[in-house]
Chains A and B, each alone.
Chain A
Amino acid sequence: MSVEPLTTDIIVGRLRALDGTASEQSSSECRPVSGRYIRPLADTAQSLLDALQIRDGIGLGIADLDVLTRGFRPTDLVTITGFAHSGKTQVVNTMILNNPERKILFFSLDDPAEMILAKLVAMATGQSAATLEERVRQGDPTAAETINKVADEQLSNLAVVDDVIGMKAMQDAVAEAAALWGQPPDAVIIDYLEMMPGDAMSDDAIANVKAKATDLKRWAKTADYPLIVLHQGSRSNSRPGEPITLLSMGYSGEQQSTIVIGVRRKRDLPSLEAWERQHHDKTVTLHVVKNKRPGGRLTHYDGIDLHMDPTTGLIRAHEPSEALTLGQPHTPAARAYQQAQFAPAEQTPWGEVR
């Protein structure tokens, strides 16, 4: 991360804030009293600012989630779980793109590095990986230039290891990256847990999720960076599209995690109406189902809907025009309007159709 010069305004502002903090502490008796239910808005503002300016950790870059988790910090074991093809990798890819200045080491046991790069370039440029691939194949020089530019400029702090290696070798790779960068990584991502061979002590032991999660926890406890591990949901408890809970993770792993984030696609729910399915074709739903951070909060049972670009998989908050209101009206008037619009035509005794 390169250091940028500070302007006098910024310095003066920070020095004033320092004074503000001091005077605020000395006059704490004047502050609104926090109760069991009431929380002063000033505290909320501070927690929002903390979440948006994560200094000693790394966030997803998705404010709705970062406000709850307050970012991932050294010694955290963060598990991102969900059914196959629910968007787990897209969540971490979005995090990578949202944190271009952070040193991230990505162990991709599932996809080769080239595919990871293709996905990230697609997300960064807004064009599908297939289109980009086609353009390169046709000898379009600008496509090759685009790939090189994104790799050099936006992803210069990302290192991808796509060998299928065990935990000891991963730790060696982290040390290698730290030596190369001159600092420990800001985050280490493992995609995904089930693909890791063996356990922490012996790379040739039989894969066992619980043992591997325990060993990962042991690693995370002494690490200078958060460990973010992707984890497949179990087929029995994490059916496609269904809300993620702590029971959704295959062969456990939830006890060891500091934070568990669930990922699902509502479009996969069998019970949806066609128009709802069409809308949810562009959504991904994230759940924070475990959060051991002091003051950390969870999402409600239904999770948080976010926009997922259908072409590139980039995840972001919904624009107001993209939010689903039909079927989920916010006000009694809207509900009445919807009922009127969708009520079946009915003939009155007087022959009128209403």
Chain B
Amino acid sequence: MIPTSTINKFVDLYYGRDDVHGTEEGGCKRQPPDWDGHLDGTGPPIGIYPLVRREDGQLHVVWGCVDFDTVTPTKRTTDYLTERDAHVAACNLHATLGQMGIVAHIERTRSAVGRHVWVHAATWTPAADMRNMLLVACKVAETSTREVNPKQTQLADDQLGNYVRLPYPHHFPQRTIINTNSAPIGLETHVAYACDNLTDPALIAEWAARLPTSPAPTLRYAPPPDEDFWQKLNGKARMVLEEGPLQNDRSRALMYLAGQCVRSGLTGHEALAVIDHAAARWGKFDGRPDRDHQLRTIVQKAYLS
């Protein structure tokens, strides 16, 4: 039986959207999260969507989390090759945040070989500040920035952003907060320590301001100055371009479009121009310093598959 005070503290630490939650299998359930069930096993493990729109219309969070994935038989996109590397990276980030005056917590994640590094704010904090502060810390610690949550700082009204699976699910006892020697820390100890060491949003904002402002992406791929260029695309590609992504899944739509470029016989460069055009139109990767890299990766995957 978990004391109510512990559950309440856990909720305070990992609070986010209270109308929806993420599932263990991957997906969104439009029901309030069952916090008790997550911790005591009467319900399934849950993931929380951190982004909450406050009265000022801006997105806020009470926590941030950096996810370091490790290669597994089913997962090809990864940050680190071994658990040891993921753990060292998490420890480096943990130590860096410590030097920045921010207490962080390392979690052994679902795959058991990956790591989460959590930071808890004392009150609602602008999502951009939390994300930028974590990016600064990752930059200093030289760790992967592939999965820095919150991943979005702006959302359309019908969008939720990404959720993160929480630690201490009853059914998976290995998914706990751990210390830098990988020894597990009990739920009560963790929540008590974390609640006593919440980070002031002003400090988060102060570090966030140190993130170098990336210049707007300058690399754009212009299609050939050929009026017939767009006619080279097959009907499916033109339909996706005109109608936009299904269920607002822009990543999937870009990947599909790149595949149709291959089938339409476009060269890699021409496909890049099409994907660039679509991404700009749908606002995907806008303002991201790795925009160019992301676009090229999509095209490359399509052409190599």
Interface residues, chain A, with chain B CB atoms under 8 Å away: 2-6, 8, 11-12, 14-15, 18-19, 21-22, 74-75, 171-172, 174-175, 179, 181-183, 218-219, 221-224
Q: Is the CB of A222 within 8 A of B141?
A: no
Check if A219 sits within 8 Å of B95, measured CB to CB.
no
Chain A contacts for B136, CB-based, 8 A: 18
B185 interface residue per 8 A CB criterion: no
Q: Which of B73-97 contact A (CB under 8 A)?
A: 76, 78, 80-82, 84-85, 88-89, 91-92, 95-96
Q: What is the CB-to-nearest-CB distance from A75 to chain B, in angstroms, rounded to a whole number? A: 7
Q: Which residue of B lies closest to A5 (CB)?
A: B88
Determine the main DSSP class of A at the interface with B: helix
| CB-defined contacts of B299 to chain A, threshold 8 Å | 222
The stretch of B148-156, B190-198, B266-274 that contacts the partner chain? B266-274
Residues of A within 8 A of B78 (CB): 182-183
| B99 at the A interface (CB under 8 A) | yes
Is B280 an interface position by the 8 A CB rule? Answer: no
The 8 Å CB contact of A15, one of B76, B99, B268, is B99
Q: Which 7 residue pairs are nearest across A and B when measured between Cβ atoms?
A: A182-B71, A3-B85, A3-B88, A175-B304, A14-B140, A222-B268, A6-B92
The 21 sampled A-B contact pairs (Cβ below 8 Å) are: A2-B85, A3-B80, A3-B88, A3-B92, A5-B88, A5-B91, A5-B92, A8-B95, A11-B140, A15-B96, A15-B99, A15-B140, A18-B140, A74-B293, A74-B296, A175-B304, A179-B76, A181-B81, A182-B71, A221-B296, A224-B300
| A15 engages B100 (CB within 8 Å) | yes
In the assembled complex, the CB of A288 is this many whole angstroms from the nearest CB of chain B, namely 23
Q: Report whether A11 and B141 are in contact in the complex, using a CB–CB cutoff of 8 Å.
A: yes
Minimum CB distance partner of B85 in chain A: A3
Contact (Cβ within 8 A) B269 A221: yes
Q: With A18-B210, A222-B303 given, is the CB distance from A11 to B269 under 8 Å?
A: no
CA distance A348 to B95 in the complex (A): 80
Write the nearest CB–CB distance from A52 to chain B, whole angstroms: 16
Residues of A within 8 A of B95 (CB): 6, 8, 11
Interface residues in B265-303 (C-beta closer than 8 Å to A):
267-269, 272, 293, 296-297, 299-300, 303
Within 8 Å CB of A222, what residues of B? 268-269, 272, 296, 299-300, 303
**Chain B: how many interface residues by the 8 Å CB criterion?**
34
Nearest to A12 among chain B residues (CB) is B99
* Chain B residues within an 8 Å CB radius of A6: 92, 95-96, 141-142
B212 CB–A CB distance under 8 Å: yes
Closest to B211 in A: A18
Q: Within the complex, what minimum Cβ distance (angstroms) separates B147 from chain A?
A: 15
**Inter-chain pairs besides A19-B210, A21-B212, A171-B304, 17 sampled, C-beta below 8 Å:** A2-B82, A3-B84, A3-B89, A3-B92, A3-B143, A5-B91, A6-B95, A6-B142, A8-B95, A11-B95, A11-B141, A74-B293, A74-B296, A221-B268, A221-B269, A221-B272, A222-B300
CB within 8 Å for A218 and B268 given contacts A3-B92, A5-B91, A6-B92? yes
Q: Mark B193-237, 1 if CB is under 8 A from A, else 0.
A: 000000000000000001010000000000000000000000000
Asked if residues B303 and A171 are in contact (CB atoms below 8 Å), the reply is yes
The reply to whether B81 and A8 contact each other, CB–CB distance below 8 Å, is no
Contact A11 B304 (CB under 8 A): no
B142 (CB) vs chain A CBs: closest residue:
A6
**Minimal Cβ-Cβ distance residue in B for A2:** B85
Q: Is the CB of B304 within 8 A of A172?
A: yes
Among A5, A11, A219, the residue within 8 A (CB) of B99 is A11
The closest CB in chain A to the CB of B75 belongs to A182
Inter-chain contacts of A8 with B (CB < 8 A): 95, 99
- In chain B, what residue has the closest Cβ to A221? B269
Residue of A nearest to B89 (CB): A3
Q: What separation, in Å, do the CA atoms of A175 and B103 have in the docked complex?
A: 40
Which of A21, A172, A221 has the most B CB atoms < 10 Å from its CB? A221
CA gap between A302 and B194 in the complex, in Å: 64
Which single member of A2, A19, A171, A218 contacts B269 (CB below 8 Å)? A218
Using CB atoms, name the residue of chain B closest to A172: B304
Taken together as a complex, chains A and B put the C-alpha atoms of A19 and B206 apart, in Å, by 11
Q: How far is the CA of A75 from the CA of B299 in the complex (A)?
A: 13
Q: How far is the CA of A221 from the CA of B300 in the complex (A)?
A: 10
When C-beta atoms are compared, the residue in chain A nearest to B304 turns out to be: A175
Contact yes or no, B297 A224, CB < 8 A: yes
Q: B68 to nearest A CB, angstroms? A: 10
Task: Name the one of B76, B88, B300, B304 contacting A4, with C-beta atoms under 8 angstroms.
Answer: B88
From residue A17, how far is it (CB to closest CB) to chain B in Å?
A: 9
List chain B residues, Cβ under 8 A from A11: 92, 95-96, 99, 140-141
Q: From A75, which residue of chain B is reached at the shortest CB distance?
A: B296
Query: Closest approach, in angstroms, between the C-beta of A220 and any C-beta of chain B?
Result: 10
Q: Which residue of B lies closest to A25 (CB)?
A: B212
Chain A residues, Cβ within 8 Å of B141: 6, 11
Residues of chain A within 8 A (CB-CB) of B297 are 224
Name, among A4, A15, A19, A222, the residue most crowded by chain B CB atoms within 10 Å (CB to CB).
A222
Within 8 Å CB of A21, what residues of B?
212
- A12 — which chain B residues lie within 8 A by C-beta? 99
A residues less than 8 Å from B296 (CB atoms): 74-75, 221-224
Residue numbers in B under 8 Å from A75 (CB-CB): 296
Q: Evaluate contact between B267 and A218: CB separation under 8 angstroms.
A: yes
Q: Specify which chain B residues have a CB less than 8 angstroms from the CB of A172 in the assembled complex.
A: 304
Contacts of A175 in B (CB 8 A): 304
Chain A residues contacting B272 (CB-CB under 8 Å) are 221-222
- Alpha-carbon distance between A4 and B92 when the two chains are bound, in angstroms: 9
* Docked-complex contact A224 and B92, CB < 8 angstroms: no
Chain B residues near A19 (CB-CB < 8 A): 210
Which residues in A have their C-beta under 8 angstroms from that of B80? 3
Residues A182 and B96 in contact in the complex (CB < 8 Å), given A22-B210, A219-B268, A224-B296: no
Nearest CB of B to A12, in Å: 6
The CA of A19 and the CA of B136, in the complex, are separated in Å by 12
